[in-house]
Chains A and B, each alone.
Chain A
Amino acid sequence: ETGVTQSPTHLIKTRGQQVTLRCSSQSGHNTVSWYQQALGQGPQFIFQYYREEENGRGNFPPRFSGLQFPNYSSELNVNALELDDSALYLCASSFGPLETQYFGPGTRLLVL
């Protein structure tokens, strides 16, 4: 059984660009949650996808968007990147929206 995987591991972008981060959920999981962790802070909830629909969103602007595919993998898209978007982006998958979340290794995004 494979765990949660994320790609790429590291990414460097410039301000104003767009970025797509990917997450493959653990086998049997139908829910993916995304978190942003700025340096020195705890992770902050961005949104959750359950059965291909957004199922809750944190305090993030609309330029943060997502998708979930029929195989339950997920993408996080960020448009018009800002310097403050530099962070570790974590995804977590679970058997359902209220079940225990299992985290991937994260994608480190640096915006210059």
Chain B
Amino acid sequence: DAKTTQPNSMESNEEEPVHLPCNHSTISGTDYIHWYRQLPSQGPEYVIHGLTSNVNNRMASLAIAEDRKSSTLILHRATLRDAAVYYCILRDGDSSYKLIFGSGTRLLVRP
């Protein structure tokens, strides 16, 4: 299974943008990049996903490097509610059923 590497933790100030990096150097051509977040005492929730092009939705933006070996989740204006653990995972077309989560990045947002 292709693996992802994320920093253990990051800090941000409220109202400022946050860029959460993820390395996935062994990504294959059919792997989709998914991001989830887990708020304290809750189950993970889907944030965004992409294959090759940058993606935007109401929660965040996903910037994917041209060689697809890394990606960045962008929160445009962090709020206190965005304090969570963010997981970057790969979901491939050959075994899309088997999803392995890493340790994720714990985001701290300062008021």
The answer on A and B forming one complex is no
Question: Which residues does A use to contact B, with CB under 8 Å?
Answer: none
